[in-house]
Copies of this chain bind each other. A is one copy, B any other.
């Protein structure tokens, strides 16, 4: 039984590998035409997709799934139109394949060119939101990669419908059909076979909660790019413009609390604690934020929940904020290095030296100087689209766009050169 499953997963991976060889030599025009065909097909087949989605939603209801999750699962005309728009946006982006990263001539006359090429086969393991199915397929295809999609079983009917529609659309283009495949089989076993398909799958990108990401990192022999966990900090320096600091803290915490680039901890320099904390804590509490403060913070406001180590460590993803007073910039950095997840840290300061030291010593994917942590985002960074935000250091760090779905090849041209 499991062997049958392994065979079908590995079979899909082999077909993806074969498709990748053809994808690698397609022109941008050929890939963009396929993306346009996929977008039109999603629009034309909207009823088929919403019907399939209705089955998933009904099943989720039976299983007593929370309304929040069901809302993430639900697809309507508007959301499907957004998926189609997303594919057209990707078609409008430059093609990273063929870009020359660097090139030079060696003393012996050899010409070295480091050129961007597709990864080959990209695996995506993701939860709930079925729109990821179309987004990931579009980004993988534009960057010349075949994609193996492993969505959650709760969205199986929706994902199957979307992939069927997309594959039918590519069949009328130069893109090989097996460029986009849903990993066969249900449950964790199938994902496990995908994670062990080293040599067939070039990279695995988990998109979802910390639990999913941890299990992929633990079990996968295929190289993994970790995404998403964000315990982001805002540090208000002794030299901060306090008006800007209030705006940045409020935006970082309350603009969209459920996402990874929202702030979870506020660190305030002792020199400005007296002037700043009463103002910012009042504004935060007015905005419905629960404050978890250390002892010094609790001296500045009412209704502050005493903070424990758990508060420094946790990614709330809610209207909660951990707040501490620190005696120096270096103490703030030490706190961030100890408790942070390496996603995004912001400093509010007028001091050039402070901004430089903060940027040089916090060990994170992104550092915001006098700006909200919310700006760490592929769209905001001008990538046009985003496959995720890497919180690891290998290959990609921070928002990942099309370029991060490629690798490079050295092409070395000689005239009969041999090594002496």
Tell me, yes or no, whether A368 is within 8 Å of chain B by CB: yes
* Cβ contact of A416, chosen from B114, B248, B392, B418, cutoff 8 A: B248
Contacts A120-B393, A393-B120, A418-B255 given: A413-B371 contact, CB under 8 Å?
A: yes
Please tell me which stretch of A169-177, A307-315, A404-412 contacts chain B, meaning at least 4 of its Cβ atoms lie within 8 angstroms of it.
Answer: A404-412
Instruction: State in angstroms the CA–CA spacing of A364 and B120 once bound together.
Output: 11
* Cβ contact of A21, chosen from B110, B241, B337, cutoff 8 A: B337
Closest beta carbon of chain B to A211's beta carbon, Å: 15
* Cβ contact of A370, chosen from B247, B392, B415, B419, cutoff 8 A: B415
Instruction: State in angstroms the CA–CA spacing of A106 and B384 once bound together.
Output: 12
Chain B residues in 8 Å Cβ range of A243:
416
Interchain CB contact under 8 A, B363 and A393:
no
Closest beta carbon of chain B to A389's beta carbon, Å: 10
Please tell me which stretch of A55-63, A87-95, A373-381 contacts chain B, meaning at least 4 of its Cβ atoms lie within 8 angstroms of it.
Answer: A373-381
Residue of B nearest to A109 (CB): B371
Closest beta carbon of chain B to A280's beta carbon, Å: 14
Q: Please report which residues of chain A, range 243-285, place their CB below 8 angstroms from some CB of chain B when the two chains form the complex.
A: 243-244, 247-248, 250-252, 255
Closest beta carbon of chain B to A27's beta carbon, Å: 11
Interchain CB contact under 8 A, B419 and A375:
yes
Contacts A25-B360, A365-B409, A417-B375 given: A394-B106 contact, CB under 8 Å?
A: no
Interchain CB contact under 8 A, B417 and A360:
no
Interchain CB contact under 8 A, B371 and A393:
no
> What 5 additional pairs, Cβ within 8 angstroms, besides A248-B418, A251-B419, A370-B416?
A21-B337, A359-B411, A368-B412, A368-B414, A397-B409
Interchain CB contact under 8 A, B417 and A364:
no
Scoring A residues 350 to 376 as 1 if CB is less than 8 Å from chain B, else 0, what string do you get?
Answer: 000001000111011111111110111
* Cβ contact of A360, chosen from B24, B119, B372, B381, cutoff 8 A: B24
Tell me, yes or no, whether A198 is within 8 Å of chain B by CB: yes
Q: Please report which residues of chain A, range 96-128, place their CB below 8 angstroms from some CB of chain B when the two chains form the complex.
A: 104, 106, 110, 112, 114, 117, 119-120
Instruction: State in angstroms the CA–CA spacing of A117 and B342 once bound together.
Output: 13
One complex includes copies of this chain to the number of 2
Tell me, yes or no, whether A37 is within 8 Å of chain B by CB: no
Tell me, yes or no, whether A51 is within 8 Å of chain B by CB: no
Measured as residues with beta carbon below 8 angstroms from the partner, the interface class of chain A is: 35 or more
Closest beta carbon of chain B to A400's beta carbon, Å: 12
Instruction: State in angstroms the CA–CA spacing of A203 and B224 once bound together.
Output: 12
Interchain CB contact under 8 A, A218 and B221:
yes
Instruction: State in angstroms the CA–CA spacing of A24 and B360 once bound together.
Output: 7
Residue of B nearest to A364 (CB): B409
**Residue of A119, A203, A367 with most chain B CB atoms under a 10 A cut-off:** A367
Contacts A21-B337, A21-B363, A394-B407 given: A412-B221 contact, CB under 8 Å?
A: no
Contacts A221-B217, A418-B251 given: A412-B367 contact, CB under 8 Å?
A: yes
* Cβ contact of A418, chosen from B374, B398, B399, B410, cutoff 8 A: B374
Closest beta carbon of chain B to A26's beta carbon, Å: 11
Chosen A-B contacts, 25 in total, with CB atoms closer than 8 Å, are A24-B363, A106-B380, A120-B363, A202-B393, A203-B393, A218-B221, A223-B223, A223-B392, A223-B393, A247-B416, A248-B417, A255-B419, A355-B413, A366-B412, A367-B412, A369-B412, A369-B413, A370-B415, A371-B414, A371-B416, A372-B418, A375-B417, A376-B410, A381-B410, A397-B407
Tell me, yes or no, whether A6 is within 8 Å of chain B by CB: no
